[in-house]
Amino acid sequence: MARETQDPVSEPVITLEHVRIQFGKRTILDDVSLTVNEGEFIVVLGPNGAGKSTLLKLLLGLLKPNAGSIHVLGKPPRRGNNAIGYAPQHRQLEADLALRARDVVGFGLDGNRWGTGMPSARRKAIIDKALLEVDAFAFADAPIGQLSGGEQQRLLIAQALLANPRLLLLDEPLANLDISHEQEIVALVAKVCRTRNVAVMLVAHDINPLLPVVDRVLYIARGHTAIGPTDEVITSSTLSQLYGSPVEVVQALDRVFVVGAET
């Protein structure tokens, strides 16, 4: 299942060294070190409030660590980095916004530029291609509020891909999706990851739908992290150590269940 590690010569996409971040007196991440390589599919797991979204914000340069160093493609994180595509935790959109699916995708191309922009055949072609890549072309001109959660999620991924990123950060793209839509999004992200060789960090609550595609799991709990292949990280001993209390990992029916941890 898990692929071999990437060519060790290529520069890592993400490097964290002894990173600590705290909000007031509360330490969110403490002494976290890890490396993510080109084209790797990383699933980020952990209980609510463990610091999963915080980690993404550190990589985006939206937050600064209190200690340690972070490098994204060899440079410190900064806002407006086109090498990162980001889709945050999704909220349901209001039904009567005058915005079409292709407008949302278009933000990824030039939403940060001044002025109204001029429609052009080239711009339309780029957006059409992105819509096709995420299988969203059929509802390209539909108002965004009319689309289902899964359809909106596809658009956010297309938007994140428009600047041809080397790193894709997806915060809970599977939240509020039923099983079949969940599988569609997982297959889509895996396809993007493999064909574009883009590193993916996908925050999730449940590893099971991602088992067929994940390279390594990053588990965050109580400020600490464990990273590695699924069968090394999601084990009773590793998770018990991470949580500091007994956690039992049960395997049944090709699925993994974590018992005793508040996930």
Closer residue to another protein in complex, CB, 147/204: 147
The minimum distance between CB 133 and another protein, in angstroms, equals 16
Closer residue to another protein in complex, CB, 139/219: 139
Q: Binding to another protein by residue 67, rule CB under 8 A?
A: no
Interface region with another protein, contact rule CB under 8 A, candidates 9-17, 131-139, 174-182, 215-223:
131-139
Q: For Cα atoms 161, 169, 143, give the angle at the middle one, nearest 5 degrees.
A: 55
Q: What one-character DSSP code corresponds to residue 227?
A: E
Q: Which of 14, 52, 100, 166 binds another protein (CB under 8 A)?
A: 100
Closer residue to another protein in complex, CB, 160/186: 160
Q: What is the helix (H) or strand (E) element at residue 54, kind and residue range?
A: helix 52-60
Asked whether 218 and 45 are in contact (CB, 8 A), the reply is yes
Q: What is the helix (H) or strand (E) element at residue 95, kind and residue range?
A: none
Q: Which of 137, 120, 211, 223 is nearest to 174 (CA)?
A: 211
Q: Which of 126, 140, 175, 256 binds another protein (CB under 8 A)?
A: 140
Asked whether 42 and 201 are in contact (CB, 8 A), the reply is yes
Asked whether 67 and 22 are in contact (CB, 8 A), the reply is no
Closer residue to another protein in complex, CB, 26/79: 79
Residue ranges in contact with another protein by CB under 8 A:
60-62, 79-82, 84, 86-88, 94, 96-100, 103-104, 107, 110-117, 137-143, 146, 156, 159-160
